[in-house]
Every structure is written in structure tokens, then in C-alpha cells.
């Protein structure tokens, strides 16, 4: 299998106008080991150094790094670096041709992992299964239609019907908001995909990671100009998960580095936590670079 190798760097820096005396956090910054993805090396550096730190696997098998910094500080720097080899995700033509109704985990007790997939067919806080989402997906999920064909059409329609706009939404934007704005970013388009397909009983992951970008012809690659990315993956009984990227209207390929997945963004943000401080203002700076090797 032909693979691509990338060096991924993800730096998150929080700055405050007064000392933080205690900072407790969870980071989802370690890429996953997968049949199509191999982790060559990985490091996670936190400054100031935590008094306590540990890695654990969450319910979905993601690596969660827990840390606590008690040294007074006005800046917290978290730098994750890794080298990753990524190959293509292959799927059975026969599996993708099954009627989409047969891909609902609730209807497939004969498939070993259906019970686990069922959790990802339920509504979640940021991917509510609204009537509008159900109706939107119904246009593609016609009776007996092959699941691969139907899912790809939903992806393409979202790409065509919704505008990419960084100013249109926030991390707490709801599905109703996305329909009202008809705009959003990759996180919103992933949530919209989840809401649409889950409302018909399909199991869909929210996937967080990175996409290696290509500079325009004649332009040099700008280091640090990349960003985190989000997409969705649909459970195909007996064949794994079909990963789709509605933001870019394409199936996920060997340019995508998978970090974590869950019910929605709130399960796997790059960093979240609680701080103790009297600071009145703070800033957040994020720098991401995905360099082909």
C-alpha cells in the first residue's frame, strides 16, 4: 500500500493579564493508530511543566492527555508534534451498494460492532436531529438507494448549498443556526452531516484531525498556515467507516491525518480545561503545520 508521511506540528498558546495559579486541562492532540495510519513518532510538550500528567484512552479509543499546572504563569504553551504515515482507506464495493436502510445499526444485530456504532446514531448536543435536518437528508435517502451513493450525495449537497464563512458561526453553533445562516466552517458542516444522517438511523462519527494543503501553483508553502480540520464518517456494516469531507466535497484520502472521533466537537476539542485566576483578559493563539516528508 502506498503511503504518505507528514510531520504535524500543533501549538496552542494561552496568554493572560494576571497569573494563573492552577490550570487543569485535557488535550486531544495525539493522532490515532489505525489500519491505514501509522504513528512513527509523537511528542507533547507543555510549558510550564505540569505537576501531574497522564495519557488515557477514552470511550472511543482516543488518546486523552490530562495535565495540571500549578506553577503561577501568564502563558500556557502546548506543543504537539508527530510524524505520521497515512494510506488510502479502502471499502468494499458490495458493502457500499447495500440499501442504506440496511446500514442502520439498530437493524443489524448480526454485525459484531453494531452495538457500539449505535451510540453514534443518537442525537448529541451539537448535532441535534432537527426536522429540517431529517427533511434535508430525506431527499437523498430514497428507499433502497445504495448507502455509499446516498451518503456521497448528502455530502455534495451540503458543499453546494452552504457557504464556507469563518465569521458566520462559533464553537457553540447549533444545527438550526447552520440552516439559518446557510454558512459555516468545517466543524459546522461535519455537525450538519451528523444531524442529517443520524436522523435517519445511520451511525456517524465526528472526526477531528488535519488536512495537508497544497500551495497555489508558483507559490511556496507557508509554514504554520494550516489548521485543524473536521469531517464525518458513516458506519458501513462489516466494512468499517466511510469518511467524507463535506467542506471539500470529497472522500477522505491519504492527505488526512486522523486524531480523534466522538459524538461531536465537544467530545474531542484539541484542548479544554479549567483555570484559577483573577485575570480579566486572555488570548488564544493556535499554529498548525502539516508538512509532507
- Residue-wise pLDDT for 15-71, tens only, equals 999 999 999 999 999 999 999 999 999 999 999 999 999 999 999 999 999 999 999
Give mean pLDDT, residues 121-139: 96
Question: Same domain, yes or no, for 79 and 196?
Answer: no
- Domain of 196 in residue numbering reads as 93-265
Q: What pLDDT band is residue 142 in, cutting at 50, 70 and 90?
A: very high
Question: Same domain, yes or no, for 100 and 25?
Answer: no
CB atoms within 10 A of CB 128: 17
Q: What is the pLDDT of residue 211?
A: 94
Question: Same domain, yes or no, for 170 and 100?
Answer: yes
Question: Same domain, yes or no, for 66 and 132?
Answer: no
Q: What pLDDT band is residue 221 in, cutting at 50, 70 and 90?
A: low
Question: Same domain, yes or no, for 149 and 111?
Answer: yes
Question: Same domain, yes or no, for 111 and 223?
Answer: yes
For the cut 80, the answer to whether the pLDDT of residue 190 exceeds it is yes
Q: Total domain count for the chain?
A: 2
pTM of the model: 0.94
Q: What is the pLDDT of residue 227?
A: 84
Question: Same domain, yes or no, for 76 and 135?
Answer: no
Q: What is the pLDDT of residue 224?
A: 54
Amino acid at each position: 500500500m502506498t503511503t504518505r508521511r507528514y510531520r504535524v506540528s500543533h501549538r496552542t498558546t494561552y496568554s493572560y493579564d494576571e497569573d494563573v495559579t492552577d490550570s487543569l486541562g485535557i488535550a486531544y492532540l495525539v493522532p490515532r493508530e489505525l489500519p491505514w495510519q501509522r504513528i512513527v513518532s509523537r511528542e507533547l510538550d507543555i510549558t510550564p511543566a505540569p505537576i501531574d500528567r497522564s495519557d488515557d484512552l477514552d470511550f472511543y479509543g482516543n488518546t486523552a492527555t490530562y495535565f495540571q499546572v500549578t506553577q503561577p504563569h501568564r502563558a500556557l504553551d502546548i506543543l504537539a508534534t508527530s510524524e505520521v504515515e497515512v494510506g488510502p482507506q479502502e471499502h468494499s464495493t458490495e458493502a457500499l451498494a447495500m440499501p442504506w436502510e440496511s446500514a442502520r445499526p439498530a437493524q443489524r444485530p448480526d454485525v459484531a460492532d453494531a452495538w457500539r456504532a449505535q451510540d453514534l446514531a443518537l442525537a448529541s448536543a451539537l448535532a441535534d436531529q432537527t426536522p429540517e435536518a431529517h427533511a434535508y437528508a430525506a431527499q437523498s435517502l430514497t428507499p433502497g438507494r445504495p448507502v455509499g451513493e446516498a451518503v456521497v450525495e448528502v455530502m455534495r449537497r451540503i458543499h453546494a448549498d452552504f457557504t464556507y464563512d469563518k465569521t458566520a458561526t462559533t464553537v457553540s453553533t447549533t444545527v438550526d443556526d447552520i440552516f439559518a445562516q446557510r454558512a459555516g466552517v468545517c466543524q459546522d458542516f461535519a455537525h450538519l452531516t451528523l444531524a442529517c444522517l443520524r436522523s435517519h438511523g445511520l451511525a456517524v462519527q465526528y472526526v477531528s484531525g488535519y488536512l495537508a494543503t497544497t500551495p497555489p501553483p508558483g507559490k511556496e508553502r507557508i509554514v504554520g498556515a494550516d489548521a485543524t480540520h473536521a469531517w464525518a464518517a458513516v458506519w458501513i456494516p462489516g466494512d468499517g467507516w466511510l469518511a467524507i469531507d463535506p467542506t471539500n466535497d470529497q472522500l477522505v484520502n491519504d492527505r488526512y491525518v486522523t486524531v480523534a472521533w466522538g459524538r461531536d466537537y465537544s467530545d474531542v476539542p484539541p484542548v479544554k480545561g479549567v483555570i484559577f485566576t483573577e485575570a480579566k483578559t486572555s488570548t488564544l493563539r493556535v499554529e498548525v503545520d502539516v508538512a509532507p516528508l
